[in-house]
Amino acid sequence: MSKHEKIGPEVESSLINADAQVESFRQTRNNRRTELVEDYVELIADLIEDGGEARQVDIAQRLGVAQPTVAKMLKRLISEGYIQQRRYRGIFLTEAGQKLAELCRERHHIVESFLCSIGVSPETARIDAEGMEHHASAETLEAFKAFLARATPPRRVAGQA
Amino acid sequence: MSKHEKIGPEVESSLINADAQVESFRQTRNNRRTELVEDYVELIADLIEDGGEARQVDIAQRLGVAQPTVAKMLKRLISEGYIQQRRYRGIFLTEAGQKLAELCRERHHIVESFLCSIGVSPETARIDAEGMEHHASAETLEAFKAFLARATPPRRVAGQA
DNA sequence: ATTGAAAAATAGCCTTGGCTATACTATCTC
DNA sequence: GAGATAGTATAGCCAAGGCTATTTTTCAAT
Ligand SMILES: [Mn+2]
Ligand SMILES: [Mn+2]
Ligand SMILES: [Mn+2]
Ligand SMILES: [Mn+2]
């Protein structure tokens, strides 16, 4: 605390441990630095799978941003090794890019399905998942998956034990 | 799609409706623009409640950022009407600030409790909630609350019906 | 009252992620 | 093959959110 230290009887505080809190904020800031990259790579993978190629105009249209914004971001993706680009040609995912895309798609799907499974409407789940996915740790994803497995029990053939 | 339109047999696509997707991305970008404000206001409320005052050094220490970063952010909070500041003195929440803080605290608590309730460890729930909270819509929060009410049933006095 | 230390303010820098306007290239069509 | 046009690149602007280094102010202790 600052110079003006507070002492006195230990009362129930709305403040949690400072080191724990700073860790949360740091982790969250960290996630924020990668969420755009993740969304781009995931979207590029989808576009390629769907149409055989990913073009800047399509990416821009899907994201709702201007084309030069995409062009700039693609340079970041190149410098980070996720895509390759041939001038005036399309975008291709590197090995690392494909791996990241796969992770993101899976994670995105888990989060969105989970939201639906607890009663959130598909439209809202779609929107919320787009933001929440980037802050779901491996442990939380496991919990989501476990819940989904419980909520959607594996169907048995008629006449189960 | 771009000039090179894809036609052909309708195959199961990994792409969702474009308008829906752009709406998700837009909403997510929007949430991102306010999450920092929300974290600051929530933290300031906690500091005031706990120690009677919120000082820049304490905010900086809790967030894990430098003091000038906080000073700059406080100007944004002032310009947006959430706090008042007396030079070289502490920070005070305006009416709007208190209202926002209350909303954020409640939302934060719901998200964190919910994660715990589905089996996520308290430490991970703390971290993930710090980021996820800003992307949880009213509808999702309601679903979380409903789940919590089910999972943690209101305790009855001994001898319930 | 002085003064030293803590806190706040300010200056100046950087990166990221937006935008518009404009120039360039590839490709399709004639 | 020459244009038209769709798509891409580039230049230049802005705001947000980080940082360090330095100055200014307050406050507590002598
Ligand atoms: Mn996604
Ligand atoms: Mn996303
Ligand atoms: Mn919070
Ligand atoms: Mn937060």
**Number of helices followed by number of strands (H, E) in chain B:** 6, 2
- pTM exceeds cut of 0.85: yes
Does A161 have pLDDT greater than 60?
Answer: no
Q: Counting Cβ atoms within 10 Å, is residue B70 exposed (0-12), middle (13-18) or buried (19+)?
A: buried
Residue of B nearest to A55 (CA): B2
Nearest-CB residue to B126 (from A24, A128, A136): A24
Q: Residue A98 has which token pair?
A: 């494909």
pLDDT above 90 for A130: yes
Residue of chain B whose Cα is closest to the Cα of A40: B25
How high is the pLDDT of residue B8? Answer: 43
pLDDT tens for each residue of B114-136:
999 999 999 999 999 999 999 99
- Measured over the CA atoms of residue B17, residue B22, residue B23 and residue B25, the dihedral's sign is positive
Ligand 4 centre to CA of B151 (Å) is: 25
- pLDDT of B1 > 80? The answer is no
pLDDT band at A33 (very low <50, low <70, confident <90, very high): very high
Instruction: Name the residue with higher pLDDT: B154 or A118.
Output: A118
pLDDT at residue A10, as a whole number: 53
Picking from B137, B142, B133, the residue whose alpha carbon sits closest to that of residue B27 is: B137
Nearest nucleotide to the CA of A39, by C1', is: C17
Going by pLDDT thresholds of 50, 70 and 90, the confidence category of residue A89 is confident
Alpha-carbon gap: A159 to the closest alpha carbon of chain B (Å): 31
The full set of domains in chain B, from first to last, is 20-97 (1.10.10.10), 105-150 (1.10.60.10)
pLDDT value for A2: 53
| Percent of chain A residues past pLDDT 90, beyond the cut | 81
Q: What is the pLDDT of residue A4?
A: 46
pLDDT tops 50 at residue B4 = no
Residues with CB under 5 A from ligand 4 (ion): B 39, 130
Please, what is the average pLDDT of chain A?
91
Cα–Cα distance measured from residue B110 to residue B124, given in angstroms and rounded to the nearest whole number: 15
Of residues A11 and A137, more confidence is placed in: A137
pLDDT of B140: 98
CA of B3 to C1' of D5 (A): 10
Q: pLDDT tier at A97 (50, 70, 90 boundaries)?
A: very high
- The answer to whether residue A129 scores a pLDDT higher than 80 is yes
Ligand nearest to the CA of residue A43, numbered in listed order? 1
**Distance CA B58 to C1' C9 in A:** 16
DSSP chain A: --SS---SS----S---HHHHHHHHHHHHHHHHHHHHHHHHHHHHHHHHHHS---HHHHHHHHTS-HHHHHHHHHHHHHTTSEEE-TTS-EEE-HHHHHHHHHHHHHHHHHHHHHHHTT--HHHHHHHHHHHGGG--HHHHHHHHHHHHHHSPPPPPSS--
Structure confidence at residue B40 as a pLDDT band (50, 70, 90)? very high
Cβ-nearest to A31 among B21, B131, B139: B131
The DSSP 8-state label assigned to residue B143 in this structure reads H
Residue B7 pLDDT > 50, yes or no? no
Mean pLDDT of A111-134: 98
